[in-house]
Structure 1
Amino acid sequence: MFLTPADRVREFEERGWWRGESVDALTRRAVSLGGSSEALVDPFNRKSLDARDPERLTWEALDERVDRLASVLLSEGLRKDDIVLAQLPNTIDAVLLFLACARLGAVLSPVAMPYRAHELEFIVEKLAPRFFVTVAAFAGFDHAEQGRAIAATPGGPQLLLFAEGADGLYERAASAEPARTWGHVAANPVAGGEVLTVCWTSGTESRPKGVPRDHNHWILNGEVVADGTGARDGDILLNPFPLVNIGSIGGLVMPWLLLATKLVLHHPFDLGVFLKQIENEDVSYTIAPPAVLTALLKQPEILDGVDISTLHTVSSGSAPLSPWLIEGWAKRGIEITNVFGSNEGAGLFSSADSVPDYGNRARFFPRFGATGQQWRARSHEVSTSRLVDPETGAEIVEPGKPGELRLGGASIFSGYWQSPELTEAAFDEQGHFRTGDLFEIAEDERFYRFVGRSKEIIVRGGINISPAEIDDLLAGLPVAVEAATVGVPDDRLGERIAVALVAKDGCAPELEDVTDWLAERDVAIYKRPEMLVLVESLPRNPMNKVMRNELRETVIGQLPG
């Protein structure tokens, strides 16, 4: 399936920005290099999560398992370009399915484990996937039952379960014939310009947006991350986030394939398990949210109880970092890389190499891709960047004036899934992606300084949440005249969700009224508000749009403490 314009593919491949090969070609190269060395490790606590014993795979064993899983998919009738919707925890099964889809030329669309019918039914309608692959149960939730309900919708996908028994993927894959896969691969070559994934992201719109990314995109993403964050040859990588977005797939899975090293998986996030995995597996590179890194520095007794001396670099982002945090970890011999990115392919990295000063690294990012700049970085070679005044559209070239960061080049996606209007709005007249984030050129003109978000998204624990989506769901709330959602600052998660509500006469709404209403509509738990503030009216502009910045200040002013 080709969605990226052919002339763009040709140009970027000729310039050497894209390799023009598939992720499977990269995988086979890693298998050849890795051989009998360990490649993939399950969370050691997996049995408590989905009742499966944890596994450890060598590169050779991984290659065979990918072939066998791919063979099962083919036996079910999968054809090249079919879409596979997947809701899987961060175990080896998710990685095997990702690699099997890459091998077969299928398109994988991974979704988060907390998604329920509200999110899944929308995505199924939008994607029309051939298969829905999930687990029987995870962390106490019956995913098999939910999967059967999704499969039963009109035109719904065929359900396949990673489960025990003759019909489950485990037993079927164990007895599958790899030769079926080999024949399919020989007859159906996969080009670098073909789509590999459709991930889902939230923004100002009321529903998630599908973000297609090609094999070329993902391989370049791995190159950029490995080059820009401080990951090194021979690193053992720990991935604490499920394979649903660019942070996990691009930030760890693709560098793992490029480096042909060992990848350790972790899910859901558990600090004790996370630290013990670093100690037990000699992890040297990982990613972690700022709140976790801050909490550990403030509780040194936790760190004193484990040996994490093999760890040299941690990448972090989704919320501003502090110089205190970066310096505190540097004193322990661990460098923090400040990362700015998005599913659409935006990416800036401040590492110990590119920005040695702790204070600057917390606030600044190299102006990769900016006119007149010189950086020895893969990201600089393959990208373009500029700042634009959001009011006038004029390009900003002098320090100290905030503007929207706009990015172009080979890392950026080509458009949203079947959403031409959203795609048109996402790019400017020069073909640059509108990130929706405000930066300014620093006094040292080699750097951008992050100012804030111009979009209305809420970032809770590194996950983007659309306030408009929650607003739409609350429109029928019986106790409310109207309601609107905002994010409020939180030391641990970055932001939490708060609802400002205008109550109907005679009603005394409580937070439980809101959360129960959303639960009845099968909305993912992480989207449910944690705070409720009653207001007399919602601030609106002349176009009757809620002014969230003003509303946010009102909400914060009414919260206790």
Structure 2
Amino acid sequence: MPHNTEVAEARPRRSDETLDCLLRDRVAVHPEDPAVADPPDMRARTGRPPQQWTWARLDQEVDRLAALLLGHGVRRGDTVALQLPPGAELVQSVLACWRIGAVAMPLSVSLRDRSLTYRARRTGARTIVTSTRIGGHRPAAAAVALPCFPAVLAWGPDVPAGAVDLDAAAPAPDEPAAYLSRTGIGPGDRAAMLWTACDGELPYLHRDLQVVPQPDAAPAGEPDAASLTNTTGLTCPAGFRDVLLPWLHSGCRLVHPEEGTSDLTGSSRIPRP
């Protein structure tokens, strides 16, 4: 199906909806339109080829990860640490948390043992989703060695012993839907835990993140029409306010630039060896 270059109008939100409803809206309206794309240099960053997903494929991948999180003990209200580079899998991980009512906590890729342990203990996070390699760092192996993370789920080649290989894992496909039918997730539930240098941890509820302005799409006919470039990390409030939520509300395509070609915040830059 050709890509619809017109950004979909955001329908009024109901007071009882959660952020997962935004994704379901997009899938229902334009399932085969492009949704999210990795940076072209993702292989150099992580050892994995760049991915491009439609809204339908993104929805499937969110369901898959949500089922794996449930299978490893994550439940409504639990905080899940996410240490991933900007790209499709970070977006997928945030959305998977929202699907089952868990709290997404994206963390800077530059954080190391002491900082990760501090944030995990402050928030009660016992699960981390990460990568086997991010630049010169091996975050999955580092997380396995930390007692604060009994569950480490990792993408990438050479997954270390003690971590779950997310590429090979086979979850129960209907588990998220079955869990949702038994569990009431509402707009008053926590959706995200973000960190800032000045204020420390900042919790956000589903209702706090629902109403945002739509992004301006590029003029029709241009190569990047109806797309939004992620020029800020999702580890900070601006990343949610200016990138993730406008993208979900509008239904445009979210693209990630190569490292060094954008103004990504320092907390999102890929660490060197």
- TM-score of the superposition, structure 1-length normalised? 0.42
Structure 2 CA distance for aligned equivalents of residues 187 and 197 of structure 1: 22
Instruction: Give the C-alpha shift of residue 266 in structure 1.
Output: 3.3
Q: Secondary structure at the match of 2:62?
A: helix
Matched residue, 1:142: 138
Q: Per the alignment, do residues 176 and 165 of structure 1 end up closer, same or farther by CA in structure 2, a change over 3 Å counting? A: farther
Q: Secondary structure at the match of 1:138?
A: coil
Higher relative contact order (CA 8 A, sep 6+): 2
Structure 1 CA distance for aligned equivalents of residues 108 and 14 of structure 2: 29
Matched residue, 2:209: 218
Instruction: Give the C-alpha shift of residue 36 in structure 1.
Output: 0.7
Whether 1:245 and 2:236 are equivalent positions in the alignment is: yes
Structure 1 CA distance for aligned equivalents of residues 94 and 70 of structure 2: 15
Matched residue, 1:163: 156
Residue type of the alignment partner of 1:168: D
Instruction: Pick one of 196, 207, 223 that aligns with 2:191.
Output: 196
Once superposed, what is the RMSD of the aligned Cα atoms?
2.6
Structure 2 CA distance for aligned equivalents of residues 67 and 18 of structure 1: 23
Q: Per the alignment, do residues 163 and 119 of structure 1 end up closer, same or farther by CA in structure 2, a change over 3 Å counting? A: same
Count matched residues: 250
Paired residues for 1:223-234 under 5 Å: 223-224=212-213, 226=214, 230=216
Instruction: Pick one of 41, 45, 49 that aligns with 2:45.
Output: 49
Residues 97 and 104, structure 2, Cα contact 8 Å, conserved in 1: yes
Q: Per the alignment, do residues 177 and 164 of structure 1 end up closer, same or farther by CA in structure 2, a change over 3 Å counting? A: farther
Whether 1:254 and 2:251 are equivalent positions in the alignment is: no
Q: Per the alignment, do residues 103 and 177 of structure 1 end up closer, same or farther by CA in structure 2, a change over 3 Å counting? A: same
Instruction: Give the C-alpha shift of residue 51 in structure 1.
Output: 0.7
- Consecutive unaligned residues in structure 2, runs of 5 or more: 1-11, 220-224
Matched residue, 1:91: 87
Instruction: Give the C-alpha shift of residue 130 in structure 1.
Output: 2.5
Structure 1 CA distance for aligned equivalents of residues 38 and 176 of structure 2: 25
Structure 2 CA distance for aligned equivalents of residues 24 and 189 of structure 1: 13
- TM-score of the superposition, structure 2-length normalised? 0.83
Deviations 1:337-362 (A, max 9, x none): xxxxxxxxxxxxxxxxxxxxxxxxxx
Structure 1 CA distance for aligned equivalents of residues 117 and 126 of structure 2: 14
Residue type of the alignment partner of 1:134: T
Higher strand share: 1
- Consecutive unaligned residues in structure 1, runs of 5 or more: 1-15, 275-287, 290-460, 464-524, 526-561
Paired residues for 1:66-465 under 5 Å: 66-150=62-146, 152-153=147-148, 156-164=149-157, 167-172=164-169, 175-203=170-198, 209-220=200-211, 223-224=212-213, 226=214, 230=216, 235-266=226-257, 269-271=259-261, 274=262, 288=263
Q: Secondary structure at the match of 1:251?
A: helix
Q: Secondary structure at the match of 2:167?
A: helix
Instruction: Give the C-alpha shift of residue 118 in structure 1.
Output: 2.9
Matched residue, 2:3: none
Deviations 1:403-428 (A, max 9, x none): xxxxxxxxxxxxxxxxxxxxxxxxxx
Matched residue, 2:6: none
Q: Secondary structure at the match of 2:93?
A: helix
Structure 1 CA distance for aligned equivalents of residues 167 and 108 of structure 2: 22
Residues 236 and 261, structure 1, Cα contact 8 Å, conserved in 2: yes
Instruction: Give the C-alpha shift of residue 462 in structure 1.
Output: 6.9
Structure 1 CA distance for aligned equivalents of residues 140 and 122 of structure 2: 22
